[in-house]
A and B are shown apart, each in its own frame.
Chain A
Amino acid sequence: MFTTKSFIKKNKVGNYLKHVREHYIRDDIACGLQECESCFPVESFLSPDHENKCALFEFNHYIILDTNVILDQMDILEESILGNVIILHTVLKEVKHRSLPMYKRLYNIIDNPSRHFYVFINDHHKGTYLQQKEAELVNDYNDRCIRAACSWYINHAPKCRFIFLTDDSANRAKALQENIQSLSVSDYITNLNNNSSLTDKLSRKDYHAKDAAKDVFPNHLTNVELLTGIREGRLLQGTFRASRDNFLEGFVSVDSYEDQIIVQGRAGLNRAVDGDTVALELFREDDWVCPSDIVLEDEGVEDENVDDVISKENELKRETKKKRGAKPTGRVVGIIRRKWRQYCGILQGGIDGVYQLFVPADKSIPKIRVETRQAEFLRTQKLIVTIDSWPKHSRYPHGHFVRALGKIGDQSTENEVILLEHDVPHSQFSEEVLACLPKMPWIITDDDVTKRVDLRHLDICSVDPPGCTDIDDALHCRPIDPEKLEVGVHIADVSHFIRPGTPLDREAASRATTVYLVNNRIDMVPELLSSNLCSLRGGEERFAFSCIWEMDHNANILNVRFHKSIIKSRKAMTYEEAQLIIDDKTKQDSVAESLRNLNKLAKIMKQRRLANGALVLASPEVKIQMDSETMEPLDVEVKKLFETNSMIEEFMLQANISVAEKILEVFPDCAMLRRHPVPPSLNFDPLVKAGRHLGFEIKVDSGKNLAKSLDEAIKKDNPYLNTMFRILATRCMLQAVYFASGAFQKEDYYHYGLAVPLYTHFTSPIRRYADIIVHRLLAVICGSDATYPDLLDKKKTTDLCQNLNYRNRMAQYAGRASIAFNTHLFFKGKLQDEEGYVLYVRKNALQILIPRYGLECTLFLARKGETSNIFEYNEEDQTQKAGDVVLHAFDPVVVRLTLDSNNIQHEKFVLQLVKPVVDNFSVPGIDQTDDNDKKRKSPEPDKKKRKKKKH
């Protein structure tokens, strides 16, 4: 079946180890052509029916690609115009080696039967295998292999024609010598009969290469220089992070340095783009600078003129040189690995011609120069663009257009942008996934009943926010003897429907969480499950996973058990309804009774939890009322909280804790838990400082002390002060994360915020994948399900956790971005005065929090880059002083709120100070001014509402 020729491959790594590998050469590899009769048939998507229409050739042909084509022109390949493409294994390996994302994208195309791609394993084929010559470079060798495979195809199937596409002119020339028809991609694409949309997508790697052009950037070092430099310690390697506010500043996090290293200016950044792995050279200590506080924006010019940049650089230098507290500073000397991806954004207006400037939505990404013939149209659209190259003579990176998302400002477009920018998988569920769903109508069989505990007789009810369709938890409570209560938490049994290893399971694992946007929900599982079969709706029989405690009246847990069950919820209530039932003393039915019992227990439990040092944190959460017809925001309001909210929360916490203990006991190595690391004390600095100014001592040495000091930080005349403290405290926290129990030491399992040694997520399997895993673990413990390999694999679980954590974070950001967008939409054209509080005091601005809308905005005290001549900044006390008005952190203010829509991508709120009144700066309130609100002067301070207090 196969011939075995073995050969020797030498690999030299580090201290010159000799690796010898086997390499089998086979005679059973098929060419994949349908027309071929000599190779035995093999599954291949190549089809003689597909036609590649290129004006240069009057015959149909197959295409063979070189590696550089795949790496650079992936966007072209993804268009379903080219077909019958043969990918050589040599090429595939090279692509994989050079760029994993490209490899994945390529594989998506290969897997699609309608694209007619075929992988030919040339390096194991006895006809096309070549031995590497002595002293032959890998690249040359690969090129030679590719050409050999082309020739082989030509000889193998004389009836078919083959075209070899490569952008490497040397390789092309050699191919032509060997009688292989070959072309560059741009020649091929421009001559394609239906090329209209493709030319824009051509990657512009070598365009505009004027030799005479002045270099805008210093050279990058060569790879060899970089590697030796890093090895000898002259250079450092790290990840580059661009500053969002200042396009001439960035930071590089290097493993061996605690501080991030500052890089500044054109020469310092030297074409690094956010996320790149760079090599950097550290300056001598005298040349170190401090991070700037100023905001600099790249205005974007048409030509390669860099005068404006130079002036800004000078400004930056002035700004950062003089101060104390300089941080390590360096400059980027080379890029080790680019982390370019696709960027959302718009075209910058006001430029004519085919070269356009693209402004990415992400402010940490530089503007990108693209070539397009449809600029007029694209200017109204949100687009996706990718970077191809950044030559040193070009002020901007060069890129090409990938696709348009839709009209700017449309809600659907914006949602799409939010989802894309946060890497949220949001395509429709595939057929394959939907095939895993149970067939409707779904009925409970006798078999199901015997396997589960029947709890249909219990008075179970659910309490959720209004409009909630994915109800995943329900509760009950009943007295079992005078001393004891039985409390049950029933969680939707999602793992019953989502079996491990199915496409549905893989999809859910990849999505990891349901993403809530203001007017849209991106489900983790298909709607049939999320809103129907798994949703514990009132009056319907549903499968549940129950966690049942026996408690005494002091909420001490006497006993806990877990089992799968069948329940029938009596009623699905909103928090408000439940609250009304509890408060309405006339209601005496069993549901009301159990709610009251639950509420009573919850209060005790909460008390106990807080006494243990659990933190009560706050973040301004708002809800946006949408007009159901126009889908426009009607109002923005802060979420109302009832006692019942905390009642449900309390029992969910308890269920999670109980489950965490159980699964860790049985699976010490692979239990999926959730930890909240203790934040480093440095994080608390702003909080402690702010507290000190107001005369509070915030202790941060332990969670318990922090909770206590937060409780004590109350001022009668400023009721919001405490909340402000809590908001600040929230920002000091680290993210809670999922992890596999085997991956950490026991001490590190601790959940700081909740002050419990063990925690997990069990209660929301409809919208979180972690809960499904926990359900599966628990089901194994209960004996109602079997394990499967990945569940017990510590490494697999750790990998899974990484994805879950990443997706969760992104989902959170996406949710926030959606709220921000809709708030903007709400404020469009409105002008309003609002009460707010100073959150932070900065050098040239105040950070203001407006609780009513959960907004956090910047009130500039001076123009960008200037220092105010009205306000005096005191860095020590963190105050801004103007005359007799001193603004501290947490001080209440009244500000005027308008939306600045000049920059369509980054609409932002512009604040103007109304109160306290500062001469030459503040503006009068709306209610007193009729038409003179443009006037900058406010003649009279409003005394009635003056809340400011001096101490």
Chain B
Amino acid sequence: MSKNRELLSKIGLRLDGRRADELRRIRCKLGVFTEPDGSAYLEQGLTKILAAVYGPHQVRGNRSKAQHDAAVVNCQFSMAVFSTGERKRRPRGDRKSTEISIHLRQALTAAIKTELYPWSQIDVYVEVLHADGGIYPACVNAATLALIDAGIPLKEYVCACTASLANNDVPMLDISHQEEIIGGPTLTVAALPMSGKIVLMEMSQRFHVDHLQKVLEKALQGCRDIKHILDEAVKSHIQDVGSSTGWANTT
């Protein structure tokens, strides 16, 4: 059946009414918790993510992990039991979440100025409340916001986005769950959008070389768009908080 489903109709709209180069709606909020040093909530379409950052703090537990020249970034990814259509217990540390945790760490480490915090540790906890495609990119984006909220120095935003090919021809941005199942290879890219550095790239299936370039280009464009959206959100948050405190302690 899925063979007959067109990801992009002839009129140029996707199943949910977006055009090929449109992101899903992104809504986000910083500082949703008081306990962690930084936290953020991000909705990308229906994918909903909570991220919390603790640190930098003294390395706890296994001290041998501590590095003399940089902070240790520790990521933990988990999915709520109710996050997918089927209610399912998801034990911590299963293969998928371990993999996403590692990928998250890779992307975040590339952005955090870890060298400023020797002997320290930064914990990033990400929880998926609702999974509707593009979980990893949403996690990266949420984690970025949480890191910024925690005041941890970053080189720049690290944003992630997926892209795929519709009808084997048109690159398509920000793949929803529905589009994920219908098929086609999905390219996930995490990048530092301002400098254009790619910090992580993953393909769900093989792409033909001819297509890779344009899909990658599209995904990077998506990262840049996301960065703009996040930047807006951060600025308005800072403005809000700053006004409440009366910009105290500032000149």
Residues on A lying within 8 angstroms of B by beta carbon are: 2, 4, 6, 17-26, 89, 100, 107, 119, 121, 123-124, 787-790, 792-793, 799
Q: Contacts A119-B11, A788-B210; is A21 near B178 (CB within 8 Å)?
A: yes
- Report yes or no: B210 in contact with A20, Cβ–Cβ below 8 A: no
Q: B206 contacts which chain A residues (CB < 8 A)?
A: 792
CA distance A330 to B245 in the complex (A): 82
- Report yes or no: B86 in contact with A17, Cβ–Cβ below 8 A: yes
Partner of B17, one of A18, A26, A119, A792: A26
CA distance A89 to B17 in the complex (A): 11
Partner of B46, one of A6, A17, A25: A6
Q: Total A-B pairs in contact (CB under 8 Å)?
A: 58
CA distance A431 to B251 in the complex (A): 74
Q: B210 contacts which chain A residues (CB < 8 A)?
A: 788-789
Q: Contacts A24-B16, A24-B17, A789-B208; is A107 near B178 (CB within 8 Å)?
A: no
Partner of A792, one of B4, B10, B208: B208
Task: Say which one of B18-26, B52-60, B137-145 lies at the interface with A.
Answer: B18-26
Q: Mask for B2-30, Cβ within 8 A of A = 1, else 0? A: 01100000110101111000101100000
- Report yes or no: B25 in contact with A6, Cβ–Cβ below 8 A: yes
Shortest CB-to-CB span from B160 to chain A, Å, is: 19
15 A-B residue pairings within 8 Å (CB atoms):
A2-B22, A18-B85, A20-B130, A22-B24, A22-B46, A23-B16, A24-B16, A24-B18, A107-B10, A119-B11, A121-B11, A788-B210, A789-B207, A789-B210, A792-B208
CA distance A790 to B206 in the complex (A): 12
DSSP majority for the A interface?
Answer: loop
- Report yes or no: B208 in contact with A121, Cβ–Cβ below 8 A: no
CA distance A17 to B11 in the complex (A): 30
Q: Contacts A100-B4, A787-B208, A788-B210; is A124 near B46 (CB within 8 Å)?
A: no
Shortest CB-to-CB span from A742 to chain B, Å, is: 12
Q: A17 contacts which chain B residues (CB < 8 A)?
A: 85-86
- Report yes or no: B45 in contact with A124, Cβ–Cβ below 8 A: no
Count of chain B residues with a beta carbon within 8 Å of a chain A beta carbon: 27
Q: Answer whether residue B132 sits at the interface, using C-beta atoms and an 8 A cutoff.
A: yes
DSSP majority for the B interface?
Answer: loop
Q: B176 contacts which chain A residues (CB < 8 A)?
A: 21-22
Q: B197 contacts which chain A residues (CB < 8 A)?
A: none
- Report yes or no: A789 in contact with B211, Cβ–Cβ below 8 A: yes
Shortest CB-to-CB span from B13 to chain A, Å, is: 6
CA distance A787 to B207 in the complex (A): 12
- Report yes or no: A4 in contact with B4, Cβ–Cβ below 8 A: no
Shortest CB-to-CB span from A122 to chain B, Å, is: 11
Q: Answer whether residue B168 sits at the interface, using C-beta atoms and an 8 A cutoff.
A: yes
- Report yes or no: A124 in contact with B86, Cβ–Cβ below 8 A: no
Q: A790 contacts which chain B residues (CB < 8 A)?
A: 168
Residue in B closest to A791 when the chains form the complex, CB atoms: B208
CA distance A121 to B16 in the complex (A): 12
Residue in B closest to A28 when the chains form the complex, CB atoms: B19
Residue in A closest to B178 when the chains form the complex, CB atoms: A21
- Report yes or no: B11 in contact with A4, Cβ–Cβ below 8 A: no
Partner of B132, one of A20, A25, A100, A788: A20
CA distance A6 to B43 in the complex (A): 12
Residue in B closest to A125 when the chains form the complex, CB atoms: B17
- Report yes or no: B16 in contact with A789, Cβ–Cβ below 8 A: no
- Report yes or no: A4 in contact with B208, Cβ–Cβ below 8 A: no
Q: A20-B132, A21-B15 are in contact. List 17 more A-B contacts (CB 8 A).
A: A17-B86, A20-B46, A21-B176, A21-B178, A22-B45, A22-B46, A24-B16, A25-B17, A89-B11, A107-B10, A119-B11, A124-B13, A124-B17, A787-B208, A787-B209, A788-B208, A789-B211
CA distance A285 to B16 in the complex (A): 52
Q: A793 contacts which chain B residues (CB < 8 A)?
A: 208
CA distance A792 to B206 in the complex (A): 10
Shortest CB-to-CB span from A843 to chain B, Å, is: 45
CA distance A24 to B45 in the complex (A): 10
CA distance A4 to B44 in the complex (A): 12
- Which B residues, 216 to 240, have Cβ-Cβ distances below 8 Å to chain A? none
CA distance A596 to B16 in the complex (A): 69
CA distance A787 to B211 in the complex (A): 12
- Report yes or no: A23 in contact with B17, Cβ–Cβ below 8 A: yes
Q: A24 contacts which chain B residues (CB < 8 A)?
A: 16-18, 25
Q: Contacts A20-B46, A26-B17, A789-B168; is A4 near B25 (CB within 8 Å)?
A: yes
CA distance A26 to B13 in the complex (A): 11
- Report yes or no: B13 in contact with A121, Cβ–Cβ below 8 A: yes
Q: B85 contacts which chain A residues (CB < 8 A)?
A: 17-19
Q: A18 contacts which chain B residues (CB < 8 A)?
A: 85
Residue in B closest to A669 when the chains form the complex, CB atoms: B206
CA distance A792 to B168 in the complex (A): 13
- Report yes or no: B22 in contact with A22, Cβ–Cβ below 8 A: no
CA distance A452 to B158 in the complex (A): 50
Shortest CB-to-CB span from B3 to chain A, Å, is: 8
Q: A89 contacts which chain B residues (CB < 8 A)?
A: 11
Q: A788 contacts which chain B residues (CB < 8 A)?
A: 208, 210
Q: B16, B17, B45, B132 — which one has the most chain A CB atoms within 10 A of its CB?
A: B17
CA distance A18 to B210 in the complex (A): 38
- Which B residues, 108 to 147, have Cβ-Cβ distances below 8 Å to chain A? 130, 132
Partner of B16, one of A22, A100, A107, A792: A22
Q: A21 contacts which chain B residues (CB < 8 A)?
A: 15-16, 46, 176, 178
Q: A6, A17, A25, A26 — which one has the most chain B CB atoms within 10 A of its CB?
A: A6
Q: B208 contacts which chain A residues (CB < 8 A)?
A: 787-789, 792-793
CA distance A4 to B132 in the complex (A): 17
Residue in A closest to B15 when the chains form the complex, CB atoms: A21
Shortest CB-to-CB span from B56 to chain A, Å, is: 37
CA distance A123 to B25 in the complex (A): 18
- Which B residues, 15 to 73, have Cβ-Cβ distances below 8 Å to chain A? 15-18, 22, 24-25, 45-46
Q: A4, A107, A119, A792 — which one has the most chain B CB atoms within 10 A of its CB?
A: A4
Residue in A closest to B133 when the chains form the complex, CB atoms: A22
Q: A22 contacts which chain B residues (CB < 8 A)?
A: 16-17, 24-25, 45-46, 132, 176
Q: A20 contacts which chain B residues (CB < 8 A)?
A: 46, 130, 132
CA distance A789 to B215 in the complex (A): 13
Shortest CB-to-CB span from B58 to chain A, Å, is: 42
Q: B130 contacts which chain A residues (CB < 8 A)?
A: 20
CA distance A400 to B85 in the complex (A): 47
Shortest CB-to-CB span from A741 to chain B, Å, is: 16
Shortest CB-to-CB span from B12 to chain A, Å, is: 9
CA distance A787 to B85 in the complex (A): 40
Residue in B closest to A100 when the chains form the complex, CB atoms: B4
Q: A787 contacts which chain B residues (CB < 8 A)?
A: 208-209
CA distance A26 to B19 in the complex (A): 10
Q: Which 6 residue pairs are nearest across A and B when measured between Cβ atoms?
A: A789-B208, A24-B17, A124-B17, A17-B85, A4-B25, A22-B16
Q: A23 contacts which chain B residues (CB < 8 A)?
A: 16-17
CA distance A770 to B72 in the complex (A): 57
Shortest CB-to-CB span from A780 to chain B, Å, is: 12
Q: Mask for B200-215, Cβ within 8 A of A = 1, else 0? A: 0000001111110000
Shortest CB-to-CB span from A18 to chain B, Å, is: 6
CA distance A388 to B208 in the complex (A): 45
CA distance A23 to B178 in the complex (A): 12
Residue in A closest to B14 when the chains form the complex, CB atoms: A24
Shortest CB-to-CB span from B206 to chain A, Å, is: 8
Q: A22, A89, A788 — which one has the most chain B CB atoms within 10 A of its CB?
A: A22
Q: A124 contacts which chain B residues (CB < 8 A)?
A: 13, 17
CA distance A20 to B15 in the complex (A): 13
Residue in A closest to B212 when the chains form the complex, CB atoms: A789
Q: B15 contacts which chain A residues (CB < 8 A)?
A: 21
CA distance A2 to B19 in the complex (A): 10
Q: A792 contacts which chain B residues (CB < 8 A)?
A: 206, 208
CA distance A100 to B5 in the complex (A): 11
Q: A789 contacts which chain B residues (CB < 8 A)?
A: 168, 207-208, 210-211
CA distance A121 to B207 in the complex (A): 32
CA distance A119 to B25 in the complex (A): 26
Shortest CB-to-CB span from B175 to chain A, Å, is: 12
CA distance A18 to B130 in the complex (A): 12
